């Protein structure tokens, strides 16, 4: 019996499946890739190049889907930590540095839980509901511009698409509420429907004034129209619209204090009462992705999208790396070593008891921090999209924090107060906003013609 055969016998069933797979991935896949690239590569490149729109769409969809999970993880961790601080607690601090891997453990927990379907449930609808909710939320990412040029699809009816797809969210909640065969779920689903019907209207009407000002429905164009100083942001021309959008957006994202659909003190967990495992995780992720989308929309529509609050002086990197030739290679090889030694020297000289290897390690860490900082700085100065992305993320997370803050401080409103507020205050206010904006535009145009 050879050694390989003996090792094979020692493997468990799982091992017998995993080891060949590992072999496939490590050996066969690279070889196949090289072969494909050699023989059918030119043809594939031709096909892709002639269908650039489709390629862009597929890449964008993949990117968006991949992007949602870390976003949700970060926001969940942020919420746990921020609310803990507001409650004078510490929050998660066991898994990873400062508990930062808590969300990952949450995800693993959901994966390992029983996927339970209650007796009497409408199984197909029950299964489909989380998918609908998750997809409806994720698909809104498609028109959100993360930076100049960083938009998956610049639809010319972007805003319309946003509200249409965002509204589908509620269909999923209603499906979940109905199919769970649970009265709490049913109440939660019906609340979701009532709330969505009431708050979609002021939400949509509050941006019509903005659309009149920008003259376009494309989210990307609206973002681009706010370039320049921060006074050009639409929040200063549409303050009422921004406020209505924030409130209606809170209701639309089902966030406290307007989280009627899952008011745990009243209806246990609303539509999600009977969900467990990965199906619940879809709802869970959808909620936090929704928070991100709402914050991103507020930033894009009212707070200058990716634009910095002030026009940044256009400092192109003074040195063009390409012109250095062989010098660049030498620089890349020599700079790390030289800088590591340079940064290590003070650690070594300051305390004679520091061993040389420790000083070198500290020097290397310092060099890494400086190098990453330098690269990011260079990227910020040299790359438009990077600067835009940085500003967009910073602004968006400010609003994510606002959502978390509201959850930590406010009690929940009652369902009739919620509906009354939408119809008696938000709707007239948004109509007033629209009327005043339209009138102002007419007056300004008339003045321009006369003058």
Site residues (vs other proteins, CB under 8 A): 83, 86-89, 119-120, 181, 183-184, 187, 256-257, 259, 263-268, 407-417
Closer to other proteins by Cβ: residue 64 or 258: 258
Cβ 333 to other proteins shortest distance, Å = 56
Rounded CA separation 10/345 (Å): 52
Closer to other proteins by Cβ: residue 93 or 264: 264
CA distances from 409 to 85, 347, 399 (A): 12, 47, 15
Q: What is the DSSP string of 296-333?
A: HHHHHHHS-TT--SSPPP----SS-GGGGTHHHHHHHH
Closer to other proteins by Cβ: residue 305 or 404: 404
Rounded CA separation 410/267 (Å): 18
**Helical ranges in 228-323 per DSSP H:** 239-252, 264-267, 277-302
Cβ 254 to other proteins shortest distance, Å = 13
Closest CA to 174 of 161, 157, 159, 191: 191
Closer to other proteins by Cβ: residue 150 or 413: 413
Rounded CA separation 433/243 (Å): 11
Cβ 119 to other proteins shortest distance, Å = 6
Cβ 272 to other proteins shortest distance, Å = 13
Assess contact for 146 and 388: CB atoms under 8 A.
Answer: yes
Name the DSSP letter for residue 422: I
Cβ 93 to other proteins shortest distance, Å = 17
Cβ 89 to other proteins shortest distance, Å = 7
Closer to other proteins by Cβ: residue 213 or 404: 404
Closer to other proteins by Cβ: residue 80 or 170: 80
> Tokens 């390629």 identify what position?
55
Closest CA to 191 of 257, 259, 110: 259
């Amino acid at each position: 019996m050879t050694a390989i055969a003996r090792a094979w016998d020692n493997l468990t069933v799982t091992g017998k499946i995993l080891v060949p797979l590992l072999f496939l991935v490590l050996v066969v896949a690279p070889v196949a890739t090289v072969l494909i690239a050699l023989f059918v590569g030119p043809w594939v490149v031709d096909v892709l190049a002639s269908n650039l729109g489709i390629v862009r769409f597929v890449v964008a969809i993949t990117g968006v889907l991949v992007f949602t999970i870390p976003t949700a993880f970060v926001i969940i961790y942020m919420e746990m930590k921020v609310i803990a601080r507001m409650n004078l607690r510490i929050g998660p601090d066991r898994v990873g540095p400062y508990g930062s891997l808590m969300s990952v453990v949450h995800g693993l927990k959901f994966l390992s839980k029983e996927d339970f379907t209650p007796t009497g449930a409408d199984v197909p609808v029950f299964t489909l509901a989380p998918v609908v909710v998750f997809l409806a939320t994720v698909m809104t990412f498609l028109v959100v511009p993360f930076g100049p040029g960083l938009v998956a699809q610049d639809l010319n009816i972007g805003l319309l698409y946003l509200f249409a797809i965002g509204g589908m969210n509620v269909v999923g909640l209603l499906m979940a509420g109905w199919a769970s065969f649970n009265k709490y779920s049913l109440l939660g689903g019906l609340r979701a429907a009532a709330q969505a019907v009431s708050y979609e209207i002021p939400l949509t009407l509050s941006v019509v004034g903005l659309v009149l000002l920008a003259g376009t429905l494309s989210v990307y164009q609206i973002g681009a129209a706010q370039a320049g100083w921060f006074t050009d942001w639409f929040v200063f021309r549409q303050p009422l619209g921004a406020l209505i959008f924030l409130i209606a957006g809170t209701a639309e994202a089902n966030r406290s204090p307007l989280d009627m659909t899952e008011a745990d003190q009243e209806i246990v967990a609303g539509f999600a009462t009977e969900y467990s495992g990965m199906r619940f995780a879809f709802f869970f992720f959808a909620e936090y992705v929704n928070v991100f989308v709402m914050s991103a929309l507020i930033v894009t529509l009212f707070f200058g999208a990716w634009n910095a609050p002030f026009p940044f002086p256009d400092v192109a990197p003074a040195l063009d790396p390409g012109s250095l030739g062989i010098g660049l290679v030498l620089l890349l090889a020599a700079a790390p070593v030289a800088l590591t030694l340079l940064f290590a020297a003070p650690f070594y000289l300051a305390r004679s008891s520091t061993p040389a290897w420790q000083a070198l390690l500290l020097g290397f860490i310092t060099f890494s921090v400086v190098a990453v900082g330098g690269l990011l700085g260079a990227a910020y100065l040299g790359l438009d999209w990077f600067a835009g992305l940085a500003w967009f993320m910073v602004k968006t997370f400010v609003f994510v924090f606002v959502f978390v803050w509201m959850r930590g401080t406010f009690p929940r409103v009652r369902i009739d107060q919620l509906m009354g507020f939408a119809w008696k205050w938000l709707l007239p206010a948004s109509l007033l906003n629209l009327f005043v904006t339209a009138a102002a535009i007419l007056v300004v145009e008339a003045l321009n013609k006369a003058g």
